[in-house]
Structure 1
Amino acid sequence: MLASNAVFASEAAAAPEKSPGDVLIFTNGDQLTGKLMHSTGTTVTFHSDMAGDIDVNWSKVKELRSQRQFVVLGKGARKSWRSLRSVPSGSIKVEDKKIELKGEHGTQVMPIASTADVLDQETFENEALKEVNFFRRWTGTATLGSTLISATQNNYTYTGAANLVRSMPSVTYLPPRNRTIANFSGSYSRITQRQAQGAPVLPDLLSSIYHVDAERDEYMNSKIYLLAQTSFDHNFSQGLDLQQIYGAGVGWTVLQRPNQTLDLRATLGYEKQQFLDTTTEQNKNLIGSLVSMNYNLKLPLKAIFQQQVQYLPAYNQPEAYSVTENNSLSFPLYKRFRWQVGTLDSYLNNPPMAIYPAPSNRRNSFQFTTGVSYTFK
């Protein structure tokens, strides 16, 4: 018994003490114990086991105490991911609308209003400084839809899309370092017509449109980035068997707000167009550009609107230009599921003449799709 008591006593002595949680005291005297997640010059995000994540205006906070290590980013300074390696860090105490940062090189006191972001040291290092496995931290959505009709005609339509993005850091309050984007969209439809007895056989009606693209962005600062991208397109109505684009250029984040973003991109590259049911001479090798605009807007009721417009001029054959516009609007359904409606308008200025009896190629194709999407986090 004495031996077992000694073992228990040694284990208790060796066990590390659990550090107390952060304490948030309000001006009315109420207080919460939990974890400081992040703060700006106006609000603080605090996690409590009882209340969850809450956002509180600093004007309602009397005091905040924590023994953990934090990083404080000043307001007004031009931030890039390279400059983040030298930002001050230490333990913090907030009182009288001031932040006291106690670090290795002494204590700094600064008004809350002069700070842009405050976050814990561990999150800062993981997000801003460390490289993460390429297969982790992907976010995005996947959408599926279908229509099946068996009546005067048999109609089978399938639509699908996947939009993935991997941003480093993954939090928006740190300056971006790099971003990887991958998108897929596809629509396939077949209509089988009823055959009248003794009449000529009616062919099936087919429509198929597919798009795949990928992009890599490397940020020079929080607004400007260099990019490399590629895309592949198939459009049966335009007689386009496969269009390949490879290019590199520059991007500019014109607008970056909590509820909306706007990006402009311009690239220079190589484009190859291969067509169905036509002569080999009508296939094209083009030198051109891709000029695009991407816009995202968060609407009331947690709705999200997204728009992408692309213009592809060709310099060695000016008549061989094309334009696409993609719009989507989604609404929350249940947890990570959303209901989405979208349109895709594609214009190809000079599709070649198809060889008879293939149907003539069209310049413009339009899609309207609906479906249920799932959000990855």
Structure 2
Amino acid sequence: MSLFKRVRGVVLFLILAPAIMPAEDKPAADKPNTEKSNPDVIVFKNGDQLTGTLVRGVGDSIIFKSDIVGEVTIPLSKIKELRSNGSFAVLKKDTPATRTNTQTGMVTVDDHTVTLMHPMGQVETVPVSNVAYIIDQSVYDRELEKKAGPLYGWAGTVTGGASFVQSTQHGGTFTAGVKLVRTIPSVPYLQTRNRTIFDLSEAYGKLTTPVIPQTTPPTPDSVVKTSIFHTDVERDQYVSKKFYYLGTLAFDHNFSSGLDLQQIYGAGVGWTPVLDAKQQLDVKGDIHYEKQQFEDSTSNLNLIGASIGEAYKRTLPRSMIFTQTLQFLPAFNEPKAYSANFSTGLAMPVFKKLGMSIAASDSFLNNPSPGFKKNTFQFITGVTYTLP
């Protein structure tokens, strides 16, 4: 058994193992506590009042849900007084939110101050200008107090496709892909502490063609094989809203380039220059060790290199999602052993969590096995299921 097959078997086992393990509780939706006997009350500076439930606060505004007006965003500057009966945590702009320096209690707001009354009777006041977030007790327990387990917070897609031929020629082609992301905290309005990205794709095909007319003695059928496998894991640890350091691990197998197994282990930094509700752009770079093992073992290489790339994601109308990545990998000790990868895709929802996807990718390897081409282009369509 080749080294690639052993590595692929281990990776697939790690993916399928959680399916037979008890799953952790899914992140609960960020919902207000509707079981309180007394509603929360807002008194506006013009004298009007609004009753309902405080959902959360972000910066200089709060999200408030009322049976009369629904869920609305209200600037704190318009509030004369807010009395809440729920349990909340107040996160400050000048203090990192941790389990040791954050407590929960009842929240009140006046013209310029947010007051937190702890269950044991202590009172903490925070100027409105220094409030980063006001979060519900359930969100605090889930995102700050509870340490996230290995199965918590994952989201992403699973894609599959197949085609078959059964005639004089016979065979089939199968494609599969898994893209998962876990961001902690999992709610978008809290600053990200860490992010884990997992990607796996496989394209396998085999077409058998008999010799026509057959010869005597018989000539064996010709077999055309396709086998392209990729998986990578990236762990990002944020030091600010847009900067993070990262660790990467990647495995590649490409029969079309004569590549049995490529292994990459690296560490680097990342920057998110564009981040809003519709789009995100990440620019990344790392220094890594790279081992290339070919079908022709005389071409094997041990490389010290780098990876420079970007990843872009944009939400389009009708909930369509466009993604694009570009990566260049130079090698310092073997300048000719550089490579590059490009991919782009469009995912379109069809019914509930089911959708369809269109993707194209190109892998360039400047030093393939003798007789193999440098470029491998793929165009793939498939059915997509969204997780969770």
Q: If the TM-score is normalised by the length of the shorter chain, which range does it land in?
A: 0.7 to 0.9
Indicate whether 1:149 and 2:157 are aligned. Answer: no
Is the CA contact (8 Å cut-off) linking 2:323 and 2:346 kept in structure 1? yes
Q: What is residue 136 of structure 1 aligned with on the other side?
A: 152
State the SS of the aligned residue for 1:204. strand
Structure 2 residue ranges without an equivalent (≥5): 1-34
Amino acid at match of 2:202: G
Matches within 5 A, 1:6-45: 19-20=36-37, 22-23=39-40, 33=52, 35-41=53-59, 44-45=62-63
Q: What is residue 356 of structure 1 aligned with on the other side?
A: none
State the SS of the aligned residue for 1:237. helix
From 361, 376, 380, the equivalent of 1:369 is 380
State the SS of the aligned residue for 1:175. coil
**Taking structure 1 as reference, are residues 284 and 59 closer, same or farther at Cα in structure 2, changes over 3 Å only?**
closer
Give distance in 2, aligned partners of 1:321 and 1:94.
59
Q: How high is the TM-score relative to the length of structure 1?
A: 0.79
Is the CA contact (8 Å cut-off) linking 1:80 and 1:176 kept in structure 2? no
Which protein shows a greater Rg? Answer: 1
**Taking structure 1 as reference, are residues 288 and 21 closer, same or farther at Cα in structure 2, changes over 3 Å only?**
farther
Q: What is residue 312 of structure 1 aligned with on the other side?
A: 329
Q: What is residue 190 of structure 2 aligned with on the other side?
A: 174
Displacement of 1:130 after TM fit?
Answer: 3.0
From 85, 89, 93, the equivalent of 1:71 is 89
**Taking structure 1 as reference, are residues 102 and 217 closer, same or farther at Cα in structure 2, changes over 3 Å only?**
closer
**Taking structure 1 as reference, are residues 59 and 224 closer, same or farther at Cα in structure 2, changes over 3 Å only?**
closer
> Between Structure 1 and Structure 2, how many residues are aligned?
344
Indicate whether 1:207 and 2:264 are aligned. Answer: no
Q: What is residue 188 of structure 1 aligned with on the other side?
A: 204
Amino acid at match of 2:320: A
**Taking structure 1 as reference, are residues 67 and 189 closer, same or farther at Cα in structure 2, changes over 3 Å only?**
same
**Taking structure 1 as reference, are residues 333 and 78 closer, same or farther at Cα in structure 2, changes over 3 Å only?**
farther
**Aligned-residue RMSD, C-alpha:** 3.2
Is the CA contact (8 Å cut-off) linking 2:194 and 2:235 kept in structure 1? yes
From 355, 371, 378, the equivalent of 1:338 is 355
Displacement of 1:321 after TM fit?
Answer: 0.4
Give distance in 2, aligned partners of 1:102 and 1:135.
33
What percent of counterpart residues are identical?
Answer: 37
Is the CA contact (8 Å cut-off) linking 2:259 and 2:369 kept in structure 1? no
Give distance in 2, aligned partners of 1:184 and 1:153.
30
Structure 1 residue ranges without an equivalent (≥5): 1-17, 354-359
Displacement of 1:296 after TM fit?
Answer: 1.3
Give distance in 1, aligned partners of 2:201 and 2:43.
50
Q: What is residue 14 of structure 1 aligned with on the other side?
A: none
Q: How high is the TM-score relative to the length of structure 2?
A: 0.77
Give distance in 2, aligned partners of 1:340 and 1:301.
14
Amino acid at match of 1:303: M
Displacement of 1:244 after TM fit?
Answer: 0.6
Indicate whether 1:323 and 2:340 are aligned. Answer: yes
